[in-house]
Amino acid sequence: MSRKHGYPFVGVDLTAGGRPSDLAALDADGTAAVFSRALSDDDLLRTVDELCGRIVAIDSPMGLPAGLCCLEESCHCAPTRPVTGRSAERALAERGISCFWTTKRTIIKPMIYRAIALKARLESDGYAVLEVFPYAVKRILLGRHLPRKSRPEGLARLIEGAYCLLPECGWPEVWAPTHDALDALYCAITARLFALGETESLGDDEEVPLILPKRSSRSAEQ
């Protein structure tokens, strides 16, 4: 695959590493989508390279609250502010969107560590790396009231939303995506919106920002 015909916008539904991560990628015009899976970080970077990606949007916190050097309870490091989580997570909460808080007691610590290391590797290879939260993306683009993504009606709503958001896209002829593949797709959609200047950044300057679509960006809410 040549770079001219690649898929610059890549979304990753990251795992802690015990099972494969789903990837979705869009071409520059939003007219083609491809899907893949990768187990190790090496596999993931190889896939991004084969896709000719440029912007990689990852579903995971990729930084720590200001003041922390790690997430180990045995360490004496402490947040610079006496508040819970990161500034972007608090901004989400103010909008009524729940998420996992990045604290020393988080249940997703292995995934956060993996995401931080992966971000460094990708950036050293020249990729732009975005932290994305697909639940928030879907709330912004598809509306507040969404069925559970694990239920058939939830999957159907996410697929319908993808059709509306990418009306010119040629989807796989046989397409029965999992909710993980759809999360990766909504990350890729956010990467494309970022390239088009249709996103906003949440969080303080000293922390890794969270990238979200602007509330007016190509909404598929009905």
Q: What pTM does this model have? A: 0.92
Quote the pLDDT of residue 1: 41
DSSP state of 64: -
Q: What is the 3-state secondary structure (H, E, C) of 67-123?
A: CCCCCCCCCCCCCCCCCCCCHHHHHHHHCCCCCCCCCCCCCCHHHHHHHHHHHHHHH
Walk me through the domains of the chain, giving residue ranges and CATH numbers: 3-213 (3.30.420.10)
CB 23 within 8 A of CB 38: yes
Distance, in Å, from the CA atom of 109 to the CA atom of 131, rounded to the nearest integer, reads: 16
Residue-by-residue pLDDT tens, the chain, 222 positions: 444 469 999 999 999 978 999 999 999 999 999 999 999 999 999 999 999 999 999 999 999 999 999 999 999 999 999 999 999 999 999 999 989 999 999 999 999 999 999 999 999 999 999 999 999 999 999 987 787 787 888 899 999 999 999 999 998 888 889 999 999 999 999 999 999 999 999 999 999 999 999 976 555 554
Q: Is 20 exposed, middle or buried (0-12, 13-18, 19+ CB in 10 A)?
A: middle
